[in-house]
Structure 1
Amino acid sequence: MDPSKVSIFKTYEKPKGSRDSSSFATYMIIAPTCFFLGMLFSSFPYDFPLLWTSDVTPDAYYDQLETHLKFIHASPPIIPRILHMAISIGFIGFFIKLFKPSEANLLFDGASMVLYLIGVVVYITNIVKGLRIVTLGKYEAPPGTTEPAIGREDSLRVMAASNTILALVLVGVIVLQVGQWYAERKEQDEIESFEGKQAEKTAKKAEKGNTHVTRSASKKKADEHGMDSKRLRRLRGASPMNQIIAMPFKTFCYMAIQRSYK
């Protein structure tokens, strides 16, 4: 049974010779992803003392980190717009690749899109919300609310951890895209190798058939030539002229035999 008919998602056969992993849509996914990883790498020096060292973090460092985050949150509107445009470019790339998807697109691009969505959710729920809290300076829950609240240090650690989660998710997207490119290239090489072997076998069979036909034709011609030669000899031996020519020789032989008996 065809797996594409059993699955709830319909897949399509990829046209021969097409390479979706090297298409423009793939670059639309990888380029924003690398851009976001660069932004996260620029934040790594600020996140390192909070998560990746056992040394005690001084209070002055939290003040510096708060100032840095407030400066980012107060950036001109063009900055978040560029960021959101980059996020949209990634989604457009996924939508292009998942339009009439092949089985490889459904597996690799589907998983990549899930990771990309996870990254967007982490960005909205943790980072954007965290920047607003840091700007307002209201780490504690307002009176009369039942929402859990964490302190200043824990809030900054949550933002640093969110950056780490985002980095891992985006690296996963790139790994899946590279894996898709490798799988499609390997599959294409195997198809070309198989087609080459099949063409070679077909050529050998055709050559063998032509040789057999040539030999059969030669043998048939030789047989026909032999039959014609025998028939010609018979016709020559049975002709009246040959009998007249052979009669004196036969008479001479008969007389010689009679004299030998006398």
Structure 2
Amino acid sequence: MAKTNSFATFLIIGPTCFFLGILFSSFPYDYNVLWTTPPDREMYFKILEDHIKFLYASPPIISRILHIAIGTGLLGFITKLYKPSEANMLFDGASLVLYMAGITVYITNIIKGLKVVTAGIYGNAEPVEGAAAGPDDYISREDTLRVFAASNTILALVLVGVLVLQAGQWYALRKEEAEIADMDRVKEEKKKAGKKRQ
């Protein structure tokens, strides 16, 4: 059971680290869009926009590998939660919630952002006076790129949370094993002491 649990943990940690690596490679693009105000900010928006278009135009094998990695992480959670202990329910349950939140951010913000930026479907930066907002109105180019960059940051934080919970579970299990070993040792010593008295 411990070996199965370790393998399932590997199935979770591997894809999570893989996604964090992808997000880290996007960080140089996102940084100047979100956290700094360089003199030529427009240049950084253009760089991020070109990067997003390049990602969207990548061969289908790239997205398939990404989706296989997502499925591998889910397989790890299913394996660990098949016959859960109390520690599994707490740590793995919370990790699964974070993982699913990450998948939701990926589907709703990142994939949608890739499509919107590639199609160039941006709204007006300023709404037209007297015009009612309709379903065809979109947010501006800069806001779209900021939302995309912020989604990457949110996803990275969620995935770090998954890793922290998995590390917390590992620490809790090791601590529990050490305490059980200590209790067994004390029992053995008491048994030996009782036999010597007899």
Q: So what's the TM-score if we normalise by structure 1? A: 0.69
Query: Residues 85-134 of structure 1: CA distance to partner in whole angstroms, max 9, x if unpaired?
Result: 00000000000000110000000000000000000000000000000000
Paired with 2:99 and 2:22, the residues of 1 have a C-alpha distance of: 16
Which amino acid counterpart does residue 116 of structure 1 have in structure 2? Y
Aligned twin of 2:30: 47
Larger radius of gyration: 1
Paired with 1:200 and 1:122, the residues of 2 have a C-alpha distance of: 55
The one of 38, 56, 76 equivalent to 1:73 is 56
Unmatched segments (≥5 aa) in structure 1: 1-14, 210-262
The one of 165, 169, 180 equivalent to 1:176 is 165
Aligned twin of 1:158: 147
Query: Residues 185-207 of structure 1: CA distance to partner in whole angstroms, max 9, x if unpaired?
Result: 00000000001001100111111
Give yes or no for the alignment of 1:82 onto 2:71. Answer: no
Partner SS, residue 58 of structure 2: coil
Paired with 2:74 and 2:39, the residues of 1 have a C-alpha distance of: 41
Partner SS, residue 122 of structure 2: coil
Paired with 1:148 and 1:114, the residues of 2 have a C-alpha distance of: 32
The number of residues matched between the two structures is 191
Aligned twin of 2:109: 126
Give the drift of 1:152: 0.2
Give yes or no for the alignment of 1:139 onto 2:122. Answer: yes
Which amino acid counterpart does residue 128 of structure 1 have in structure 2? I
Which amino acid counterpart does residue 154 of structure 2 have in structure 1? I
Give the drift of 1:57: 4.8
Unmatched segments (≥5 aa) in structure 2: 125-131
Overall identity of the aligned pairs, in %: 59
Query: Residues 192-249 of structure 1: CA distance to partner in whole angstroms, max 9, x if unpaired?
Result: 000100110011111101xxxxxxxxxxxxxxxxxxxxxxxxxxxxxxxxxxxxxxxx
Q: Is the 8 A contact 2:34 2:150 kept in 1?
A: yes
Query: Residues 113-165 of structure 1: CA distance to partner in whole angstroms, max 9, x if unpaired?
Result: 00000000000000000000001101128x98336631000000000000000
Q: After TM superposition, list the pairs within 5 Å mapping 1:150-229 onto structure 2.
A: 150-209=139-198
Q: Is the 8 A contact 2:12 2:73 kept in 1?
A: yes
Partner SS, residue 32 of structure 1: helix
Which amino acid counterpart does residue 38 of structure 1 have in structure 2? G
Highest RCO, 1 vs 2 (Cα 8 Å, sep ≥ 6): 2
Paired with 1:187 and 1:63, the residues of 2 have a C-alpha distance of: 53
Aligned twin of 1:61: 44
Q: Is the 8 A contact 1:70 1:131 kept in 2?
A: yes
Q: Is the 8 A contact 1:32 1:90 kept in 2?
A: yes
Aligned twin of 1:229: none
Q: Is the 8 A contact 1:50 1:57 kept in 2?
A: no
Aligned twin of 2:129: none
Give the drift of 1:64: 2.1
Q: Is the 8 A contact 1:47 1:160 kept in 2?
A: yes
Q: Is the 8 A contact 1:116 1:169 kept in 2?
A: yes
Paired with 1:123 and 1:57, the residues of 2 have a C-alpha distance of: 29
Give the drift of 1:179: 0.5
Paired with 1:88 and 1:80, the residues of 2 have a C-alpha distance of: 12
Distance 1:109 1:57, change over 3 A: farther
Q: So what's the TM-score if we normalise by structure 2? A: 0.91
Report runs of 4+ in structure 1 exceeding 4 Å deviation.
none
